[in-house]
Structure 1
């Protein structure tokens, strides 16, 4: 039996209304409208039209501007004529919001929806519709899969009584049952689990997705990160409800921070970021992590980042470091992200990263710092960047107190690694830095470049790198002095088991040929953390640290 062209199931809205905004896919060819109209004239009112089962290619229907077109008699797929029709009509105006163009994610000729099922049927009087068998729904970058779907085109309400999945580049959700109200653009789920951006995992008894607000609410569940997922996650945020705004932020209400089955903290609410490169915004960073090094002694690290007014680009943070030898070393301040980079105003006690002696700390009271993003040059692999700081430094070491104003900046150019064959990579960086010291009214200039090779083959990793610094002037602080101006660093690593690895590395000062360091390191994979212990048999020093895989501190 043929099918009526006004097989007007707004199945275009089924679950497509739950789509997260994404880039549109190209439409396939649609059927001749004249053939469809002729077939529709033969259909009598109040008659259920069945689409017969077909092979696994499926019965494919095309949803265009809210109308679902079934295949014409004897055809397994509709051919697209929407491109031809579009030429006959003037282009629609671009949608605007707050003066900016907004992508149209609804069903349209430009963004059609495809439905594939083993069996479909529709009653054009009551509006009832069914799709059975292996049902696949595709709209733009979203894909929905289930075994059975039913609903009504008049009430615009639809039900998936069994298991369903919803995937797109940001979301991967599974639920035991789903409902969708196309009029309100709201979907409801029961027994749901899901992923955001492949990094954040959530689970809840039920949930709601509001397409218009691009907001998912997960009730009576928890939220964690990828490597912590287990039968009992290593750490998680349990909450009465979690509001998830894909690609932006989440807010959890009535929160418990859990480490396995232990409650570490309770809060009325907490907001974290889901934006790229912002893994430091997570309540789980409060979990203390043990460290040890010969200069500072045993220690514990943790941190807390709190968005201001639920804006993940504006945050108040506190990083805590406690040591048995060095005492308490805080870093407290405000971070503000802008499109070109990040500002940070803070009071901090920071350990030197340029002097290898260890245990060298400076107080920044306060310091204003700025780091730019990487700006790629003319769509090439090369990028430039900059950083700067202005503040007051205070260093007490060996009975000597150096206290004064400081300002400095750095400009650099680099690029994405070059792949040399299948196993090797080449990286490089060049830059210029200038430091102004109020303590001695001195200026130091640093022109530098570095280059290195790294490789991986089966269980082996290797690397070698060289840095050349041309320093003019001097610093009155041990904190930002360099142990070696022209070092060569080399080493190799063996992945002995899936959980254990060993490495041996060297650092040589090429100015005088002295071997500065020889590091023996053991690594252990601890599910959601890495642990490593390193011994320097030149300096006779040991360092131990546990590092999280999915967040920063």
Structure 2
């Protein structure tokens, strides 16, 4: 029979962790609007997280039902509860002994093992054999290790040969030390790949972690498939609430297409202060060499301003050089209405196919929140806008009205379809630069995604010239496959007879 002893304490068990992050294969913007289906991959990643946190959510629900664990008066400290099939307590010395299905619970944290000794006065807990830690509140923690020692009063402890996850990041270490405001991993690894032999990870001799602030790794090495791709004697990054984005580790993406060859992309940014960050979008193409983008960005709520310099490629494989350009954006909801107002202004030196011009453009737009058409499974997304452009090359200027209407339909859990109508007065026929423009004013796109298995999904996407009897202009085929720790997208563009493949470390 399970027995229980509980003591009051304000100390949590192993209340320390960190947050690190990065993405997965998303379709690049194309003329067929296939990127409208990117949210399907977002949902898959969310389901991965639900599966990874199932134990923690069950722990939360169990503790919420237990009044002895969760104090009725929130102003009083939560108790520490000792449970076990064989448990004893010496009220004079404070010694606690527990054996068999041992549980030590405090707030939303629980430690389980087969044998534990401790002392309620000194706050010490010692576990020589295997111990398991599960913590839901604050940082999410799931760890297994040996020779565990922890003191509730000083909030200091250690665990050896530890392995598990912290905030959905998988870690291992010969030794982990816990302190009130810091955690140190010795000879450890970190990855977001849950495989027994991760496809990619970071290793370091010593990793110092200040939860929700920053992390320092000494002799850090970044591995892909057993090969070191990057290393640094001292690697520092912000983490948790203090992190600016999910760029922990090296966000490397590898693509191939018949136009550009092998494309290796690496994005890095550094926060200069609360509102300003500098970044580089590193791009190597086997057929073009380096084509990077450098920039600095200021953001404050609804407004942002960035200065960029580099090479840009659109969905029709057209290249544009900006050296440099300044872009200001402002977006805000209009009161309590379902409308959103947007404004973008850009001024910079553009070069395309031997033409160089100081390009100035301004765009205003008005968009509406999704409109349910009968049910939430069929949604309409409308927006309208107006832009005016000036070019120094030939002193030309032109204005353009545009509007778009997109319908998304969740036909079944496996089948999702879309169709969209686009109108723009600006085309390659009347603009100085072809970059980013279609050859005609009226366009209809349509496509669908079908999930063959939990790991495989196919997409067919089409583009039609609505002003020319709905003539087919593009048809693209996609196959998405989940390789557990990375995703692959294989694309064939029928009209162009070009192949594209994209590998993405989805958990990195």
What's the TM-score once normalised by structure 1's chain length?
0.69
Q: How far did 1:455 drift?
A: 2.4
Structure 1 pair 405–155 and aligned structure 2 pair: CA distance change class (3 A): same
Distance 2:114 2:300 in 1: 46
Distance of 1:494 and 1:543 partners within structure 2: 20
What does the per-residue CA deviation read over 1:364-395, in whole Å, with 9 as the maximum and x for residues that have no partner?
A: 222334567886976x9x68474635341322
Contact 1:272 1:306 in 2 (8 A): no
| Cα distance change on mapping 1:192 and 1:456 into 2, 3 Å | farther
Matches of 1:275 and 1:367, distance apart in 2: 32
2:215 maps to 1:223: no
Change beyond 3 A, Cα 1:62–1:492: closer
Counterpart contact for 1:216–1:243, Cα < 8 Å = yes
* The one of 124, 142, 149 aligned to 1:157: 124
1:366 pairs, out of 315, 319, 324, with 324
Distance in 2 of aligned mates of 1:464 and 1:19: 42
1:115 to 65, 72, 81: 81
Output the CA distance in 2 between the equivalents of 1:63 and 1:495. Answer: 43
1:238 deviates by: 0.8
Aligned-partner Cα distance in 2 for 1:15–1:456: 47
Match of 2:410 among 420, 431, 455: 455
Question: TM-score normalized by structure 2?
Answer: 0.74
Q: Do residues 201 (structure 1) and 170 (structure 2) align?
A: yes
Q: CA RMSD in A?
A: 4.1
2:285 is matched with 323
Correspondence 1:161-200 to 2 at 5 A? 161=128, 162-168=130-136, 170-177=139-146, 178-198=148-168, 200=169
- Structure 1 residue 299 and structure 2 residue 256: aligned? no
5+ unaligned residues in a row in structure 2: which ranges? Answer: 20-59
Q: After superposition, give the CA deviation of every residue in 1:228-260 in whole Å (9 maximum; x if it has no partner).
A: 332321111111122344455543221111112
CA distance in 2, matches of 1:385, 1:197: 36
In the alignment, which residue of structure 2 is the partner of 1:4?
none
C-alpha distance in 2, partners of 1:223/1:373?
Answer: 37
CA contact (8 A) 1:171 1:194 kept: no
Match of 1:540 in 2: 497
Deviates more, 1:337-346 or 1:401-410: 337-346
Gap change, CA 1:13 and 1:196, over 3 Å in 2: closer
Unaligned runs of 5+ in 1: 1-6, 30-56, 65-79, 83-107
Out of 446, 449, 463, the residue aligned to residue 507 of structure 1 is: 463
The answer to whether structure 1 residue 530 and structure 2 residue 492 are counterparts is no
Structure 2 SS opposite 1:457: coil
Of 3, 15, 21, which residue of structure 1 is paired with 2:13?
15
1:509-534, Cα deviation, whole Å (9 max, x unpaired): 22322211122333333333332332
CA distance in 2, matches of 1:111, 1:470: 63
Residue correspondence of structure 1 range 36-47 to structure 2 within 5 A: none
Task: Write the deviation string for residues 27-53 of structure 1: whole angstroms up to 9, x where unpaired.
Answer: 999xxxxxxxxxxxxxxxxxxxxxxxx
Deviation at 1:362, TM superposition (A): 1.5
Deviation track 1:80-133 (CA, whole Å, cap 9, x = no partner) reads 5x4xxxxxxxxxxxxxxxxxxxxxxxxx63563462623543323222233444
- Equivalent positions of 1:263-274 (< 5 A) are 263-272=228-237, 274=239
Tell me if the contact between 2:334 and 2:341 (Cα under 8 Å) persists in the aligned partners: no
Contact 2:367 2:382 in 1 (8 A): yes
Asked if the contact 2:199/2:224 (under 8 Å) is kept, the reply is yes
- Could you say which residue in structure 1 is the equivalent of 2:53? none
SS of 1:283's partner is coil
Report the equivalent of 1:434: 387
Contact map agreement 1:466 1:486 (CA 8 A) in 2 = no
Q: Which has the higher contact order (CA 8 A, sep 6+)?
A: 2
Q: 1:471 to 1:505 in 2, by over 3 A?
A: same
1:283–1:305 Cα contact (<8 Å) kept:
no
CA distance in 1, matches of 2:312, 2:111: 50
After TM superposition, the structure 1 = structure 2 runs for residues 330-349 of structure 1, keeping only pairs within 5 Å, are 330-335=292-297, 338=300, 340=302, 343-349=305-311
Deviations 1:241-287 (A, max 9, x none): 2234445554322111111211122201223454589665133324x
Write the distance in 1 (CA, Å) between the matches of 2:334 and 2:200. 37
Which has the higher Rg, Structure 1 or Structure 2?
Answer: 1
Q: Given the superposition, is the C-alpha separation of residues 20 and 346 from structure 1 closer, same or farther in structure 2, using an over 3 Å criterion?
A: closer
C-alpha separation between the residues in 2 aligned to 1:316 and 1:408? Answer: 24
Give the equivalent residue in structure 2 for 1:41: none
